[in-house]
Amino acid sequence: MTGLVTKHCKPCEGGTVPYDAEQTREMLKQLKAWIVEDGKLVKLYPFKNYYETMAFVNALAWISHREDHHPDLQVSYNKCRVEYSTHAVGGLSENDFICAAKADALIQP
């Protein structure tokens, strides 16, 4: 588990700027199986069934509310695609990586 999971998102107003390509590559090293696609941080989570998928989605919704940073979700019977980007800065920020780490922590044994 990375140190990102212990951090909290910061408000975007007041100086948050998007990461450049090098910063993004460095931050990706702290996450497992996340990719950047169309300027968004993306991961597909597979599950055994609908119940597990929805349990993950509901837990992620709670984290998103608490951090005030909300992903785009594509929810299916046994999978959930999670996409993060910081709309306020027009790119990726530390907030996206923090929330990605927290999403991963939901499924850790």
Q: What is the CA radius of gyration of the chain?
A: 13
Mean pLDDT for the stretch of residues 42-68: 97
Mean pLDDT for the stretch of residues 35-42: 97
Tell me the pLDDT tens digit for each residue of 20-34.
Answer: 999 999 999 999 999
User: What is the predicted pLDDT for the residue at 15?
Assistant: 63
Mean pLDDT for the stretch of residues 71-81: 98
Q: Catalogue all structural domains in the chain, each as residue range(s) with its CATH number.
A: 35-109 (3.30.1360.20)
Distance CA 27, CA 81 (A): 20
Category of 103 on φ-ψ map: left (φ > 0), alpha (ψ -120 to 50) or beta: alpha
Q: pLDDT band at 84, cuts 50/70/90?
A: very high
Q: Is the pTM above the cut of 0.75? A: yes
Mean pLDDT for the stretch of residues 54-73: 97
Separate counts of helices (H) and strands (E) for the chain: 3, 4
Q: pLDDT band at 13, cuts 50/70/90?
A: confident
Calculate the CA 46 to chain-centre distance: 15
Q: pLDDT band at 17, cuts 50/70/90?
A: confident
